[in-house]
Structures are given as structure tokens and as C-alpha cells.
Amino acid sequence: MGNCNPSRTPIDTSTKLTTSGPPVKDPIAYRSLAGALQYLTFTRPDIVYAVQQICLFMHDPREPHLAALCKIIRYVQGTLDLGLQLYASYTTSLVAYSDADWAGCPSTRHSTSRYCVFLGNNLLSWSSKRQHTPSRSSAEAEYRGVANAVAETCWIRNLLRELHFPLFSATLVYCDNVSAVYMLAIRFSISASNTLR
């Protein structure tokens, strides 16, 4: 696909991949390409979600899954100059952004949690992962996503402390769901009051 027409996006957001469609002729080639794209996600976080979606069907790939895989390759072909940029930064603040979709998978109704963590101006850690159990509400899905982001920032803070570079400012974690923010505030106020006793 070296001479293919590039795509502007890595995934079609208007449709969701399902288990329907005719099976692919060569499932081994599908798995090989999907595995290669998994390695590419180490330096291309913009394709993480799209690659995660096609990897869900590696056990039984169908033609729509192959079309989605080819769309990712067309996107990569058109964006070869993109990648992670690391800059010298004198800012030592740790900031995390968290988001989750509610029941985004049409077959299992599981939500997908996503977060990214910045140290100063540099992207340090990111994740896009399907939650293990279905959530009853968008607030619950977002709460789980924030919990994952907080766990990651705690691990990073401990790692920096072991490297003799402790952070002295609080970590900010951003979430776009008001209900999840209130649940987190209640949770932390209860934890703080139990600690003070």
C-alpha cells in the first residue's frame, strides 16, 4: 500500500465494528498487519484507539475489519512525518486528562477508558483500554477512567521519587463529567476524614 491514497483520519467514527461480514481470505496476514500496527502505537498515540478496535477481532477477522485496518495504514502513509516530540521543559507539573465512552462497544456494551499524562509540556504516558465490566451510567464509566488515570499518576510520582526527582506540586486530573467529579470529591473527602481519625 505504498502508493495508496492517504486518509485524513485513522478510523471511521460514524460506524462501529461488529462481528458481522464475510471472513477475510488470509487471516494470518490480517494478524501480522495488526501486530505490526501495535508496535507502531509506541510512538504514534494517535492510532492507539483505531488499532485497539481492529485487534479485538484478531481471532475471527471479517472484511469490514480488514477495511478498517487498511484505513489505518492509509492514515499512517499520509502522516509519516508525525510522531512524539519531546522538548526540554522546566515545568515540573504532572497533569492528566481522562475520558471514557459509555457502552461504546456495540457487542459487549463495555466502555473504553482513555487517559494521557503530561510532565510539563511532554506527553509521558497514555492508555486506551476497554473496561472489564459494563458500567451502569456514564458517570460510572468516567469514574473508572479517572481511577485509572490517578493510579498511573501515582505510579509516575513514585518512580520520579525513586529517581531522586520528587514532585512538590499536586497532580491535576481533568475529567469532563460533573457527576464523576462529585463522586471523586466525596470519595476523597471520606478517605481524608478516615485518615485523620
Three-state DSSP class for residue 7: coil
Domain ranges of the chain: 1-83, 94-196
Contact 167, 94 (CB under 8 A): yes
- Among 30-44, 92-106, 161-175, 183-197, the minimum mean pLDDT is found in 183-197
pLDDT digits (tens, 9 = 90+) for 51-89: 988 999 999 999 999 999 999 999 999 998 877 777 787
Helix and strand numbers (H, E) in the chain are: 5, 4
Q: Which of 173, 47, 180 is nearest to 102 (CA)?
A: 180
Q: Whole-model pTM?
A: 0.68
What mean pLDDT is predicted for residues 172-178? 90
Q: Which of 10, 1, 163, 183 is nearest to 92 (CA)?
A: 163
Residue 188 is predicted with a pLDDT of 66
pLDDT for residue 96 is more than 70: yes
